[in-house]
Every structure is written in C-alpha cells, then in structure tokens.
C-alpha cells in the first residue's frame, strides 16, 4: 500500500521536502498557511490553516489516515503537535516537544552542551535580573552576543561590535529582552566563518548531509540587516572551499555527542538536527543547534539527495536509520528572490514565471507565496528560490543568473552569492588563518 505522508509548512524548505516525498512514490498531504502553488499541486489534499493550530492539524492527520508526519517550521515544534500525533500512533520523523528544546530554548541547549562536555561550547550566561546583567557587562572586557532564549525567526540576536556599537547599546538591548522575556542569554562573541551541518538522525545513528553556508545579511557583500537567509552554497566534496575536513569532522562529532547526550537524558532526538557552527582560531564552535531543516540550506542538500526520501523518514521514526542514502557529488548555489525592502520594510508585489524551465541542473522552489505556478503574490517574506547544480559553486551561480530572465516583476536578490569574487575573498581569509 502506498504511504500517506503529512507535511506541515508552506515555505521553500517544505516545497523541497514535498518533491522528495512525491518522488519517493508516497502520497502527500499538506498543512500550510499560504496557498503555495507547488506544494498544493504535489498534494493529494491540503489544509490551509494556521500552522500552529495543532488540534486542527492532528485532526486532519487522523481523518486522512496519515502514516507518517514531518514538520518543517520551528514554531510548530514548540506546539504539542508531534506529541499528539505520537499518542495517536502516527509515526513522526520530527522531534518531540521536549527534544525540540535543543532549538526552542537556547538555555537548554547550552546546559546540555556544557554538562555533557560537548566539544565546541562557548562561554554563556543566563540572566534574570537587570542589575546583574548590568554589573556583568560593566566589569567584562569581552564582547557578547545578546540573545533571547526562545525562537526569534533569526532576527532576535544582536552582537556587540556588529549590531550593537557600544556597551551602553548592549545594556539597553539586554534590558529590553529581559523586560519582555524575564531572561536574557549572553554568549561570548566569537569570530570566524560560519557553516551549517544538517544531519538525519533516529536518536542513535546519523546520516550527515554536505556542509552548507547561509548568507543571512540582506545586501551584497554581507551588509545590511539579518534575514531568514538570502541564499546558500554547498560544494561537490561535501565540505566548503574554506572549511577543512578536520573542522568538519569536529563539528560532526559535536552533533554526535549532542544526539548521545539527549538520548542519555531520556529525551531522544529524532528528525533533522542542524548545527550552526563558527570556524574559529580554536576550532569549530557551536552557535546554535536547530531541530529541523535549515532554510535555505536544506534546499541545496535536498536538490542533491539520492535515494528514497520517504524510506529515510520512516527509518528515522522507527529508529532504524542506516547510513545508506547519499548525495550527488555536485556543487550548488541557491539565491532567493525576495520582496524589495525585505529585511527592513518589505514591499511585496507579484512575480510572473515563464513556464517550467527546470532542468537537472536548475531547480525553482516556491516559498512564502500564494497563487499559481506562473504567477505568485509575495508575502513579506522570501518568495522563490533558484538552485543551480554544477561541478563548481561559481558555475552553479551562473546557472541561477542565466535563469533570472524567466522571472519578471520587482524583487531583490543577492547576485554575489557563489560568485568567484566571493569565494576568492573567503579563501584569502582561510589561507591567512
Ligand atoms: P542565531 O539566531 O543564534 O543564529 O544568530 C544569528 C547570527 O548572529 C548568527 O548567524 C551569527 O552571525 C551571529 N551570532 C550568534 N551568536 C554569536 C556569537 N556567540 N558570536 C558571534 N556571532 C554570533
Ligand atoms: N538558515 C537559517 C535557519 O534556517 O534558521
């Protein structure tokens, strides 16, 4: 009998997941807030709903006889949805609410990493009182990243020396977070190249995906406000031109240690674990550990994924993951088309797409849009993702650039992602280090 898979979420990441589910021969059901034309086209049935409405989604899953569910967005992992599906006997390839705390609570993450002596930890301290945080900041010489403990959609972290010009601004921001949330996390500021490592895990075994780098800043040359991510790259050898194999091995080891630590505390993690690391002078350090696929980086790696994706999801849910599936040995460059003003004040318009121009070397994913396959209305967020697949990152970037002629309308894009100039600049820094 053909499996029925429920996918929650309606962004670019979920479009990439939806395609893999359908390619695997399974029947797709989806629950999403926007009328994403690609996901809707791939689905046998869809439910347009508030993605946080866990009762409605769990009811939909039961009514449709879903065999397995997969959750895309992090805020959904903070609801009881996964636990309810579990209790109804529906398999889930995403973490329980408790296990998702590795992402939804940065305080929990830092506790696990510190108590289990996981490699790549950095100094951090949680504050509940304003006078204590002020005293700490006024006596400390180091710089810090100031973070809300919970989810912020990638926009709540401010770093001294980057977003915060001086100690007074740092104190003011810490006070703002503290008065809103009752707590604020300070982490030592570290410097280096950032990279993302996504792995599939059933709580014991791990299947790692190629490393990726995400470009969070809104404007070219890594300027401007942080966004959800404007684009991302992966390389043909599964590393990045400026990240060594030994750095990769250390980061993978940190993820393995985290998976074991969570199992040893009876909070086994199943699903996708996505570590955000910074490659510092003292080796790779953990910036964040997330409980889901990265967006945009999952679109790179899913475009390379070979094998039966649904089988992997079942093996995650059943605790029988084997390191069988693999990834094409190609490079990818992804660039998101976003509304003009994205990152500050989006002015969403309409984009027109000339027919189906996808090839084996070029994928077009639909993100936070509604409409048809040939005309989409943008929301305030990312609209369309183009992924080029080639032997090198710059060639993959050229494939994306050459396909922009098929899309008309007003949008912003970071043309610099994956270009030879960008890679050269990063290589120079890497060689100096
Ligand atoms: P996050 O939302 O935790 O991923 O943080 C957003 C961005 O802030 C990261 O991608 C980093 O560029 C930066 N950041 C976070 N934590 C630190 C840190 N401890 N030191 C330096 N930069 C950081
Ligand atoms: N790549 C950023 C995120 O998914 O959180």
The predicted model gives 127-150 an average pLDDT of 95
Probe ligand 2: pick from 232, 275, 276, 298, max atoms within 8 Å of CB? 276
Determine whether the shortest distance from the Cβ of 417 to ligand 1 is under 6 A.
no
The 3-state DSSP class for residue 131 equals helix
pLDDT, one tens digit per residue, over 268-285 is 999 999 999 999 999 999
Determine whether the shortest distance from the Cβ of 103 to ligand 2 is under 6 A.
no
Give yes or no on whether 4-92 and 193-432 have one common fold: no
Residue 323 has pLDDT above 80, yes or no: no
Q: Looking at ligand 2, which atom is closest to the CA of residue 13?
A: 4
Q: Looking at ligand 2, which atom is closest to the CA of residue 154?
A: 5
Residue 240 has pLDDT above 70, yes or no: yes
What's the first-to-final CA gap in the chain, in angstroms? 55
- pLDDT at residue 359, rounded to an integer: 97
Q: Whose CA is nearest to atom 5 of ligand 2?
A: 294
Asked if residue 218 lies in contact with residue 224, where contact means CB atoms within 8 angstroms, the answer is: yes
- pLDDT at residue 324, rounded to an integer: 65
Domain ranges within the chain, ordered by starting residue:
4-92, 123-188, 193-432
The class level of CATH for 193-432 reads: alpha beta
The predicted model gives 388-406 an average pLDDT of 98
The model's confidence at residue 365, banded by pLDDT at 50, 70 and 90, is very high
Residue 153 has pLDDT above 90, yes or no: no
Distances (CA, A) of 284 to 17, 39, 189, 217, 278: 29, 36, 13, 21, 5
Determine whether the shortest distance from the Cβ of 150 to ligand 1 is under 6 A.
no
Determine whether the shortest distance from the Cβ of 187 to ligand 1 is under 6 A.
yes
Asked if residue 365 lies in contact with residue 303, where contact means CB atoms within 8 angstroms, the answer is: no
For residues 247 and 385, give the distance between their C-alpha atoms in angstroms, rounded to a whole number.
29
Q: Which ligand has the nearest atom to the CA of 288? A: 1
pLDDT, one tens digit per residue, over 36-69 is 999 999 999 999 999 999 999 999 999 999 999 9
Task: Calculate how far, in angstroms, residue 433's C-alpha sits from the geometric centre of ligand 1.
Answer: 20
Residues whose CB is less than 8 angstroms from the CB of residue 137 and which lie 6 or more positions away in sequence, other chains included? 144, 167, 170, 171, 174, 186
For residues 175 and 229, give the distance between their C-alpha atoms in angstroms, rounded to a whole number.
27
Determine whether the shortest distance from the Cβ of 265 to ligand 1 is under 6 A.
no
Q: Tokens at residue 351, please?
A: 């984009």
Q: Whose CA is nearest to atom 19 of ligand 1?
A: 189
pLDDT, one tens digit per residue, over 79-120 is 999 999 999 999 999 999 999 999 999 999 999 999 999 999
Determine whether the shortest distance from the Cβ of 164 to ligand 1 is under 6 A.
no
Task: Calculate how far, in angstroms, residue 29's C-alpha sits from the geometric centre of ligand 2.
Answer: 24
Q: In the CATH scheme, what is the code of domain 4-92?
A: 3.40.50.20
Probe ligand 2: pick from 294, 336, 343, max atoms within 8 Å of CB? 294
In this structure, whether the domain defined by 123-188 belongs to CATH 3.30.1490.20 is answered with: yes
Task: Calculate how far, in angstroms, residue 48's C-alpha sits from the geometric centre of ligand 1.
Answer: 33
- pLDDT at residue 355, rounded to an integer: 78
Task: Calculate how far, in angstroms, residue 251's C-alpha sits from the geometric centre of ligand 1.
Answer: 16
Q: How many CB atoms lie within 10 A of CB 364?
A: 21
Residue 433 has pLDDT above 70, yes or no: no
- Please report where in the chains the tokens 């895990």 appear, as a residue: 201
Q: Whose CA is nearest to atom 4 of ligand 2?
A: 294
């Amino acid at each position: 009998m053909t499996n029925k898979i429920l996918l929650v979420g309606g962004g670019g990441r979920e479009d990439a997941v939806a395609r893999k589910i359908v390619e695997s021969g399974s029947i797709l059901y989806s629950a999403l807030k926007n009328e994403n034309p690609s996901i809707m086209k791939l689905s046998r049935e869809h439910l347009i709903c508030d993605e946080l409405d866990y009762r409605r989604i769990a009811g939909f899953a039961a009514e449709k006889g879903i065999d397995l569910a997969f959750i895309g967005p992090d805020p959904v992992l903070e609801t009881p949805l996964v636990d309810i599906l579990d209790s109804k006997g529906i398999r889930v390839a995403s973490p329980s609410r408790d296990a998702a705390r590795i992402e939804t609570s940065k305080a929990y993450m830092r506790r696990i990493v510190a108590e289990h002596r996981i490699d790549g930890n950095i100094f951090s301290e949680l504050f509940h009182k304003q006078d204590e945080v002020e005293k700490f900041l006024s006596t400390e010489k180091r710089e810090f990243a100031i973070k809300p403990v919970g989810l912020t959609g990638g926009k709540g972290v401010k770093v001294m020396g980057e977003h915060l010009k001086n100690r007074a601004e740092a104190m003011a921001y810490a006070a703002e977070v503290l008065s809103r949330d009752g707590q604020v996390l300070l982490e030592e500021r570290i410097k280096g190249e950032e990279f993302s490592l996504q792995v599939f895990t059933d709580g014991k075994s791990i299947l790692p995906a190629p490393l990726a780098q995400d470009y969070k800043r809104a404007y070219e040359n890594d300027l401007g406000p942080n966004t959800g991510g404007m684009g991302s790259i992966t390389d043909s050898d599964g590393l990045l031109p400026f990240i060594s194999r030994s750095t990769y091995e250390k980061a993978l080891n940190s993820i393995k240690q985290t998976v074991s630590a969570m199992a040893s505390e009876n909070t086994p993690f199943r699903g996708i674990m996505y570590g955000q690391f910074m490659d510092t002078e003292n080796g790779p350090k953990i910036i964040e550990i997330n409980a889901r696929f990265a967006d945009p980086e999952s679109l790179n790696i899913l475009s390379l994924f070979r094998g039966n994706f649904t089988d992997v999801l079942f093996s995650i849910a059943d605790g029988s993951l084997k390191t069988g599936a693999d990834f094409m040995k190609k490079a990818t460059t992804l660039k998101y088309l976003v509304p003009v003003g994205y990152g500050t004040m989006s002015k969403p318009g309409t984009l027109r797409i000339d027919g189906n121009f996808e090839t084996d070397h070029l994928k077009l994913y639909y993100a936070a849009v509604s409409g048809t396959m040939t005309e989409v209305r943008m929301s305030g967020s990312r609209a369309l993702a183009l992924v080029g697949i080639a032997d090198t990152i710059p060639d993959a970037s050229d494939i994306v650039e050459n396909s922009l002629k098929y899309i008309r309308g007003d949008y912003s894009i970071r043309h610099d992602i994956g270009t030879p100039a960008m890679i050269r600049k990063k290589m120079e820094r890497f060689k100096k280090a």
